Amino acid sequence: MIGRVVALLHVEALTVRRGTRNVLENFNMKIESGNCVILTGENGSGKSTLLESIAGIIPIQSGNVTIERPFGLALQSGGLNGDEMVDERVGYAAQAAGIWNTDGLLKHWNLEHRSQDKIGQLSGGLYRRLAVLQGLMPAYGNQPRICLLDEPSEGLDDASVETLLTDIATLRARGHAFLIATHDPRLHGCASSLLEIEGSSTEVTSNLEPSYAPEFSASEAKLSLSRWSSTLDRRTKWPILSRGVPLIGSILALYALLGNEIGSLILVPTFLAAIPCVSSLHHSKENRSGDWWRAMGGRLFTIDPLSILLILISPLLTASIFGIEQNSVIWVAIGLPFIGIYLASGAIHELAMKMPRTGGQYVPLLSLVLIWPLLIANDSIESCLDSTMCSDPWLSLVVATSIPLIIWFGLPILHPRTASN
């Protein structure tokens, strides 16, 4: 039963612009424990925009959002990567909710028989079932939480809709709250109020009785974004494919064109290996899975150790292939500016994903700045290519490394304002 009533969501004077118009303007809302607010309205009225701006996915123009964390989120697109396993996704969602025991939860949603399957192998209905389970996860804990659900009944069969309705009624009775955007009138039966985005709010009385829903002890939430990304790296081989292929391909092309007369082009393969999209950002693009992680508070750009190692040794590898006399320590050190380029390139890709479409399309132009440290690093090894003895390149390497690191540290200040920052 509901204990002390607490505010789980407070929205004050929220304004959100999409394109050239304000989709939401001076919007206010407060949801307390035990409430279920159903958002209604025509397509394009701002229901999904409200949910995603509250979650910190869509940039806001002005206003304030205070939400109790961790909160649940079910995106209309699902927010699930097809290369994940079903039980892995449940585990990540549970840890983000501070829940460390989910026994019986997959069975409750009739997903137990697919626990070891890839999400990409699920039917549309099962995929949607898993997305809704993910969105409800914090409410299966024993601390009052709020869940943001965007069209949760869409794609569900009748039995799954019944599970959804009874769970919401049961979880409301335990003190959890819900904000749901839907066109499905069946969900109105679990609401405490119906809110039309461009109209009025109507108080209603739920006609659903609490029943059974799993409940687990909740503790401190933990995000496992790095583990998620590294698991998908091993499964998809993305770091090798995205960096190793350009590296080896460019070395072979240069060797075919120039033979041993590679000259100042020797660092081009390393540069091409450093600039592709960071693996965590690559994985996050599918079905907007990265938006779910962002809403939970994770930074999408995570450092991949395999990519770091590959970039670091690639100058030495290239020099060895072309038979260039080298001091191994210096040639490994020459890889340091390209580690910086890798970090700066990741920050640029991340900023492009977070920016509104009209501005984000120009962000990749910042990558042109990364040619500068390449040129500085190239100058630092000219003496190594012209003689058997290298002059100390350390000062040039420090400068070449500092430039992309400044970009990496500085770009976050350009990120658009969201409810999470």
Residue at 334 is within a domain: yes
Give yes or no: residues 163 and 254 share one domain: no
Rg, C-alpha atoms of the chain = 26
The four Cα atoms 94, 100, 103, 108 give a dihedral, to 10 degrees, of -20
Question: How is residue 100 written in tokens?
Answer: 């460390």
Among 170, 203, 236, identify where a domain stops.
203
Report pLDDT for 362: 84
In a domain, 22, yes or no: yes
Residue 119 domain-assigned (yes or no): yes
Q: Does residue 287 share a domain with residue 157? A: no
Along the 421 residues of the chain, how does pLDDT read in single tens digits? Answer: 556 789 999 999 999 988 778 889 999 999 999 999 999 988 888 899 999 999 999 989 999 999 999 999 999 999 999 999 999 999 999 999 999 989 999 999 999 999 999 999 999 999 999 999 999 999 999 999 999 999 999 999 999 999 999 999 999 999 999 999 999 999 998 999 999 887 666 666 666 777 778 888 888 888 888 889 999 998 998 888 888 888 989 988 888 887 766 766 889 999 999 998 888 888 998 899 999 999 998 778 888 888 999 999 999 898 888 887 767 888 888 899 999 999 999 999 888 888 876 677 788 888 999 999 999 888 877 665 655 555 567 888 899 999 999 999 998 887 777 776 6
What is the per-residue pLDDT for 420?
A: 66
> b or e along 379-410 (b: 16 or more beta carbons within 10 Å of the residue's beta carbon)?
ebbeebbeeeebeebeebbeebbebbbebbee
Distance CA 72, CA 77 (A): 15
pLDDT at 385: 61
148 and 244 share one domain: no
List Cα–Cα distances, 211 to 79, 132, 242, 302, in angstroms: 28, 18, 50, 42
Q: Provide the angle, in degrees to the nearest 10, between the axes of the packed helices 86-96 and 124-136.
A: 20
- Are 263 and 344 found together in one domain? yes
Domain, as residue range, for 304: 225-414
The upper half-sphere exposure of residue 284, i.e. CA atoms within 13 Å in the direction of its Cβ, equals: 25
One domain for residues 178 and 92 = yes
> Is residue 406 helix, strand or coil?
helix
Please give the sequence-ordered ranges of beta strands (E in DSSP) within 33-71, or none if there are none: 36-40, 62-67
Residue 378 burial (CB count, 10 A): 21
Instruction: Give dist(CA 103, CA 215) in Å, integer.
Output: 10
pLDDT, residue 34, reads: 94
Q: Is residue 219 part of a domain?
A: no
Same domain assignment for residues 240 and 99: no
- Counted domains in the chain: 2
Question: Looking at the structure, do residues 164 and 293 belong to the same domain, yes or no?
Answer: no
Q: What CATH number does residue 159 fall under?
A: 3.40.50.300
Cβ count near 121 (within 10 Å)? 12
Whether residue 175 is found in the same domain as residue 283: no
Q: Let me know whether 31 and 115 are in one domain.
A: yes
Residues 185 and 232 in one domain: no
Ramachandran category for residue 312: left, alpha or beta (phi over 0 → left; psi -120 to 50 → alpha): alpha
Residue 216 lies in a domain: no
Whether residue 188 sits in one domain with residue 83:
yes
Query: With contact defined as beta carbons under 8 Å apart, do 33 and 5 qualify?
Result: yes
Tell whether 172 and 242 lie within a shared domain.
no
